Amino acid sequence: MSESMLYYAPLILIVVGNVLYNVVGKAVPDEANPFATLIITYLVSLIASTVLFFAVSPHASLLSALSGLNWASFALGITIVLIDVSVIMVYRVGWDISVGTLVVNIGVSVLSVIAGIVFWSESLTFVMIIGIVFCLAGVTATSISEERKHTEAGTGRMGLYGLRNRIRFYSPILIMLVARFVYMLVQKVTPLEIDPFASVMVAYASCLFCAGVALVFSVRGKGIGASFKKVNWTAAAFGACLVLLDVSTLWLFRAGWDLSLGTLLMYVLQAIALVAIGCAFYREHITLARGAGVAACIIGIILVML
């Protein structure tokens, strides 16, 4: 494989993984317990990452690989649980597939630029500042148009319970934003000598524990077994997407991408893909305000990349 392919392959895989991840997340049944779904997801992810570990390194020692891990793998597990729960809840409260993750991704991109400047001495130019302003303006326009859509439709009952519904509407987005930002930082600081498959195996084991504890508290004596009855194929598909996404993100930074540039580029490509999918398969409409917001975000990301 050529150097250019090794450099761009993880970026392409992340975009594909992110798009599939959001499509599957939107398809999770509303009546399914999110933590029961995620337990199946993490079991699939754990099995898949274990198989990949031995497939890629058939003569490697798993115990040796696991002994070289540090806190980053456990921290990764916690952030993955928060991201996955928030993705399911984002779509349950009514965000469109073309908008919800766009708002989060632009926020993470801007925070990643700041983190890259502060911690890794990445450069900040005047054009990048203008790009960040465009991104923030675009996110504001897009999120306001999304809220207005639900207010007018009556699905959010904003006029009757304004504050309560706004908290319910925006809290999954805020949780996902913070968790994804921490996730990118943890992936960036994971040492190069750590085996990526061993790292995600421990992360998924941590995820299983967290999801199991959350399930016990969420059912409140109603029976854990009953929580799995509404779980369908999306749980396993979610797990497959997760492995692709997590391993590719580790690979991205090991291939030499900066935190700011890598994050920005993958999110603008993902935004374009999800807008197209939202219009084609979910009959989402691009209003003038939403279109202007998306365009401003894309322009902003391009400016930051210059």
Whole-number pLDDT of residue 159: 46
- Is the pLDDT reported for residue 274 higher than 50? yes
46-85 confidence digits (pLDDT tens):
999 999 999 998 888 999 999 889 899 999 999 999 999 9
| Per-residue confidence band for 160, with pLDDT thresholds at 50, 70 and 90 | very low
What b/e sequence results for 15-52 when a residue is b if at least 16 CB atoms lie within 10 Å of its CB, and e otherwise?
bbbbbbbbbbbbebeeebbbbbbbbbbbbbbbebbbeb
Alpha carbon of residue 56 to chain centroid: 25
- Is the pLDDT reported for residue 156 higher than 60? no
Whole-number pLDDT of residue 206: 95
**pTM (predicted TM-score):** 0.88
Q: Can you list the pairs that 153-159 forms with residues at least 24 positions away whose Cβ atoms lie under 8 Å? A: 155/94, 156/93, 156/94
116-136 confidence digits (pLDDT tens):
888 888 877 888 889 888 988
Whole-number pLDDT of residue 222: 74
For residues 128 and 304, the answer to whether their CB atoms sit within 8 Å is yes
Name the average pLDDT for the chain. 86
For residues 282 and 96, the answer to whether their CB atoms sit within 8 Å is yes
- Is the pLDDT reported for residue 157 higher than 70? no
